Structure formats: structure tokens, C-alpha cells
Amino acid sequence: MDKQSGIHYLREYREAGSSHPVPVEVTRIRDTVVAGLGDLLQGAFDAVDDSLFELANNARSNNEQNRYFEAMREIRIKRKGVERHFQNAVAQFFSNPPRTGQLHEDTLGRQASADSLALVGNDDLEEQVALTAMITKAKAHFQGPLLQLQTRFSHVYEGASEVSPVNPMAPEHLCSAFTEAIQALEIQIRERLILLKQFDRYVVSNLGMLLDEANRILVKAGVIPNFRYHGKAGQQHSASERHTTASGQDGAPAQEEHHSTASDGSSAVFEQIHQLLARQRANSGIPSRQHSPDIRIINGNELINLLASLPFNNQVNPEHDLSEGDPLVIDLLSAVEQILAQAKTNDGKKPALEEMDEDLINLVSMLFEFILDDYNLSAPVQVLISRLQIPILKVVIKDKSFFSKSTHPARKLLNALARAGIGWSNSDEKARDKLYEKIHSIVQRILSEFEGDIALFETLNNEFEEFLAKENRKSSLVEQRTRESERGRIKSQKAQELVDRVIKERVARYRLPEPVYKMLTNGWSRFMFLAYLRDDVEHRWQESVKVVDDLIWCLHPHQGDTERDQWVRVVPGLLKSLRAGLEEVSYNTTTLDETMGTLKHELAEAFRASSSMETTEEPASQDEPPSEAQEESSHQPQDAVIAEFMAEIDSLEIGNWVEFGLVNGACFRCKLSAIIEEADCFVFVNRMGLKVIEKTRVELAHEMRRGRMTLLEQGALIDRALDAVVGSLRSKTA
């Protein structure tokens, strides 16, 4: 039996589960969790089906469309088996719970080694990255409930302890069960990533309610009922132990808040970075800091006060343009250490930084190094954001959740500023631009008003979002009009080109009577033009082409009785169709009567004569398009050159920003507003919604090949900066 079918796994899990009975307290949790995850997974699969259908509907080729439909069919057929496999795997975790963190650590270990990454295929690597990001986010977001549950489960299961804890509901176990279950699906990496994305959105992101219910059931069963989570890893205690936690065994006060919260659930990302920096110091042979008696470690408030004395805080003059000059580059750690070296203390001890604060300073410096090197940021906005290094350092000293929470006010504001300024170009006029003035005023207010109250960032972010909403409404209306206008213009242009080509091809081989030729090119062509534009409603385009073919056929001499009989049947309808069509396009009435009279005469002559039309003697090669083989051979070298760029062009989506470079060295940024498939036309607009350029798919590929077109990343600025910093640290510590 095929193991990937899921049936083998079902039997395997039942057999394994029966040999390790679940503790009584956990049985109800297992049933609740398995049922709840099954419901959530159904929502994820429904979303996957919708996503694939939409992708297939918007596919640009038959092959691409077939690929998505095949993936939909594959998932629909095997969906129930995957769901059963996943649920039975989760049930198995309750019978034989693996050690918590084991799977995730293995995954991180595989990703941390640069050598091992070279041995992993691109598809596997993409899946590993998505999986690790999903697990890391879940563990950070649900750290409190997970820690409580892990402690309670470790109390219930035999053989488990604080040293070797267990948690059947750990995110790494659930994600592992799902990735194993979908191995049965024969789909490509893009569809697998869609599956993982929807699993994250519908299942992993909604684990909170199941974790809370599991904790509630265990509390009701009397398993550590007084346990509380205080946001300090390694310091979770029952009610009887909380007093010693708060004051210490010898009655000494607890550490400063900014240090003790370093392991807070909301600071999980910083904790990882702190560990990576510690590992980097160890690999570099730097010994762990030993504080001598003549050194006093300063606390967070003292550090914030020191930052206020840095010489870079003098840029708050309202008349000063903060974007003048180059981006501000500050060696924060050196600047702080210089101030510490000059500082004098009452006790005679030399002030020094806590190692964690030093890591915070280094991390902020690395984030801004990325920001200053980020080509996706427009230059004026990049300069403005560079002025915020010291305020952001103050923020993270007070609240390290800046690194973990995407909803942190300061992080949201920075991301919003970067996102709004992506459409800026160096050539834009800053003095008369409302968006630039708004961003400039926000930076100026932070520099002049921020004294530690993070609520200022929330206020400024709300004001900025309201401003953007108004500006976006205006630009969206303009963009919509631009898009509709361009669609109409391009469709009309294509219609006219097609009509001209059809008539030219039909009449090229024969010398039509002059009045008939004028009627086709000056009158009937207008009817064909309208028929093409309205074809999706009236379906008259093919009929209009058939009239031209019938007219030329009827003007051609016919000797056989069958053909002559057909001629007699066709002509009355032909004349009726021609007159009706010409009247519809308001063809001149007098000219119409004369033309129809002439046409009837020419048709009668053609019926009587043996040869009323002469075939032109011009060589066919002058008018005939090149054969497909010739055309394919002529384009083959060119297509090979731009093939890799064509794939990037195909990945462009509506709303993506790009930058075009001109021959004179100037650059401008614009947004893809419309892709008009029938005309192979990509229409780009500026941030005001006005059209700036249109190009075909091949033209865009050539622009990219020449280095005159750059795709801009639109992901959240801080998220991209953190990813880059963490990736760099992992590669250095591998």
C-alpha cells in the first residue's frame, strides 16, 4: 500500500497510540485539540482552493492555468487523507510526546550552516525558511500559554521534567505533522508554499484559543492551578514562590526593568539575536565580560539620559531641511563609549554598559546600516529616516518588543514612512510636495518632542495614516481614470490595427473596382472597428469579416453551376448586410446609394463575365508575413538572451513599484497599474495616479537586461532589515 496515501499512516498511528495510553488528564485535551485543529485545517484548505482558482483565473498562459487546475484537483482528491494523517499525527503526539524544541532546533541547525545550505535544493530551502518563520512567529506570539502548558504537561507525563520538558501542542510539532502529511501531494513548490501560508494563517495563528482551553482543562484537573506567567522566561512560579522571585532570597531589589524583561515573550526576537551575538563573540575569542569592582553598570534610564547628550541631537531647528546632505551615519556604540569615558561619578567608579545594552546598540546600528543601504527606499526619505537612529535606540531600550511585534507603534510608523515614500524620485520637487512635508514634519517632531513616551509614535502614526488615506483616495480615483482611459485607447488602437490588417490581406491579391475599394476602406472598416469593440456583447466581429470575404468571392468569376447557385443565394443577404452596416456608422446617404448602385452593377457584371477581376502580379513575398519557422529562428537568439528576465516580468503584479533609468542618468519610479493582456501592454503610473510609461513584456525584459529597470521590494522596512541582520549573524556564527 502506498504510504503517501495516508491510510498506512492512519493504522500506524492507531497501533502506536494504543501501546502508550494517554494520561487521564490529557485525554479530553487531545480530543478537543484534534477536533479543533481539524476544523481550522478545513478553513485552510478552503482558502488554498480559492487561492489556486484565482491564480488559474488570472494565469497568463494555458500551461500556467493547467498547472494551477491540476494542483487544485490533486489537493481536492487527497485532502481528506491529508486531514486524517495530520489529525492522527497530532493524536500520536499526545501518546508519545517528543521533547519540546527538538524539531525546531534541528531545523534551525540545518539553516544556520552555510555549508549545509549548499546541499539543499532551492525548493526545499524555500519550504524550510517558510516553516522556520512560521514556528518562530508562533513561539514568540504564544510564549506565555505555551510555557504554562509545557510546565503542566511536563508535570503530567512520566519521564518529563524541567530539564526534558514535553508539550504535544508545541508549534514545531504541529508544523512537522502538517509538512509530513502534505508529502502525499504531488504539487510544485509554489503550491506547497501557498499551502503553508494558509496553514499559518488559519491554523497556527489561531492556536491561542486551543492553548488557553488546554490550560483551563489542566487547571480544572488540579495541575499546578496557581501557576502564572509573568513574561520572564525561567522565572515562572506558583503563588507560594512569587515573593522570593520579586525580591530575591537575600531581600535585594530586583534588577532594573529593562534588563529583567529581556526574556519577555514580546522580546523573543531580540533574545535570539542576543544569543547569536554572544555566539559570535565566543567564536571570535572575545571573553565574557567580567566586571571589576571599580566599574558600575549603568541602568536603562541613565543610558537614555546619556543619549540625550550626544552631539547628533541638534537637528531640530524648524527651518532646517533634514533631508539636505547625505544620510546620517552614526557609530552609536563608539559615541556612547566616548561619553561614558568622559563621565564623572560620585562614587568614583567608571560607568560601563551592560552587555545586553551593548547588543541593543549594535543591533540598532546594524538595522540602520541596512536601511541606509536599502536601494528600495527613495533617497529623500532614506535621509529623513536616518535621522531617527537615536530616538529608535531610546525606544528599544525601554521596550524590546519593537523587534518582535509588528504592531509596535514605532515600528509601524517607520514601515509606513518607508512604504509611503517608495514612489519618490530624486527629481521630485520636495518643497511643493505634501507627502514630503508630512514625513519631514513627523521626523522633526520625533527629534524635538520624544523624551521616552512611546505614545508619541502611536499619535504620529495615526495622523500619518489619516493623511495617507486622504491622499490615496485622490490618487486612486486618478489612477482608475487613467487605467480605464488606457484600456479604451489601447483596445481602440488594436481594433484599428486589426481592421486595417484584415482588409489589407483580403484585398491585396485582387484589384477591386475603385468604388468598392473605397467603400471597404472608408465605410465598412468603421463598422468592423465598432464590431470588434463590442464583440464581447454583440458578437458581430466574425460576421463583419465574413461580409468582406463574401463580397470578394461574389466579385470573383464563377463557372460551375453549384458556385453560381450559391452566388445567387449569397448576394441578396450580402447587399442587405452591407447597407445596414454602413447606415449604422452614418455613411453618407448620397454616397451610399451611389456606392450600392455601383456594387450591384459590378456584381452583375461578375456574374455574367468570365473574368471580371484580375489577380495582381505582385510577388506574394512582399505582402505575406514570414513563416512561423522563419520567425521562430529569427527570434530564438533574442529570446534566449532575455528568457531569465521574462520570468521576472511575469512575476510582476498590479501595484508593484519599479524604477526606470533614462539614458541621461536620471531615474523615475512608478507603479504597475494595469496589464492589458490582449495588447501585451504594461501601464505604469506615478504616485499621483498619472500615466508615465507603457511598455510590452519584451520591452520590459530588455530594459531589465540593460539595467535600466529595477524591481523595488515593498515588504515592511523593519521586517526586511531584521531578516537581513539575523541572516548575516547566522552566517557568521555557523
The residue-averaged pLDDT of 637-651 equals 76
- What is the distance between the alpha carbons of residues 366 and 141, in angstroms, rounded to a whole number? 24
Q: How confident is the model at residue 225 (pLDDT cuts 50, 70, 90)?
A: confident
Dihedral, 418, 422, 427, 430 alpha carbons, nearest 10 = -40
- In this prediction, residue 425 carries a pLDDT of 65
Q: pLDDT tens for residues 15-64?
A: 444 445 667 778 889 988 998 899 899 889 988 988 888 888 877 787 88
- The amino acid occupying position 271 is E
Cell of 234: 525561567
**φ and ψ of 408, to 5 deg:** -60, 135
Does the structure show a pLDDT above 50 at 249? no
Residue whose cell numbers read 514562590: 241
Element (H, E) at 695: strand 691-695
Q: Residue 657 is inside which H or E element, if any?
A: strand 657-661
How far apart (Å, rounded) are the C-alpha atoms in residues 490 and 498? 12
Domain boundaries, the chain: 3-245, 257-477, 510-615, 628-712
CB half-sphere exposure, 286, CA atoms < 13 A: 8
Q: What is the pLDDT of residue 96?
A: 84
pLDDT band at 630 (very low <50, low <70, confident <90, very high): very low
How far apart CA 39 and CA 41 sit, in angstroms, is: 5
Highest mean pLDDT among 393-397, 420-424, 557-561: 393-397
What is the β-pairing status of strands 350-352 and 295-297? parallel
Residue 262 cell numbers, joined? 529581556
| DSSP-based helix, strand, coil % in the chain, nearest 5 | 70, 5, 25
Task: State in Å, rounded, how far the first CA of the chain is from the last one.
Answer: 42
What pLDDT was estimated at residue 79? Answer: 92
User: Could you give the CA distance from residue 74 to residue 408 in angstroms, rounded to a whole number?
Assistant: 41
CA distance 257 to 272: 19
pLDDT computed for residue 420 by the predictor: 84
Domain spanning 628-712 has what CATH number?
Answer: 2.30.30.140
Higher-pLDDT residue of 727, 73: 73
172: left (phi over 0), alpha (psi -120 to 50) or beta: alpha
390/336 Cα distance (integer angstroms) = 11
The pLDDT value given to residue 102: 45
- pLDDT of 105-131, one tens digit each? 444 444 434 344 344 456 677 788 888
Contacts 24+ apart (CB under 8 A), 659-665: 659/425, 659/709, 659/710, 659/712, 660/693, 660/703, 660/708, 660/709, 661/707, 661/708, 661/709, 661/710, 662/708
| Residue in 414, 341, 34, 8 with CA at minimum distance from that of residue 184 | 8
Question: For residues 475-506, b (16+ Cβ closer than 10 Å) or e, as one string?
Answer: beebbeebbeebbebbbeebbbeebeebbeeb
Of 405, 325, 337, the closest CA to residue 365 belongs to 337
> 278: which DSSP letter?
H
Burial class for 256, CB neighbours closer than 10 Å (0-12, 13-18, 19+): middle
Mean of pLDDT values over 424-432 = 59
> In the prediction, which pLDDT does 82 show?
93
Q: Which alpha helices (H) appear in 408-454, and where do they start and end?
A: 409-420, 434-449
- Give the 3-state secondary structure of 492-541: HHHHHHHHHHHHHHHHCCECCCHHHHHHHHHHHHHHHHHHHHCHHHHCCH
Question: What mean pLDDT do residues 2-16 have?
Answer: 41
Instruction: Indicate the pTM of the whole model.
Output: 0.52
DSSP string, 476-488: HHHHHHHHHHHHH
Closest CA to 99 of 141, 17, 162, 145: 162
- What is the pLDDT, as a whole number, of residue 231? 46
Mean pLDDT computed over 539-546? 89
C-alpha distances in Å from residue 581, one per residue of 375, 501, 513, 523, 544 = 57, 19, 20, 9, 9
Report CA 620 to chain centroid distance, whole Å: 52
What is the Cα–Cα distance from 558 to 184, expressed in whole angstroms? 66
* pLDDT value at 468 more than 70: yes
| pLDDT tens readout for residues 279-303 | 777 776 665 555 566 777 777 777 7
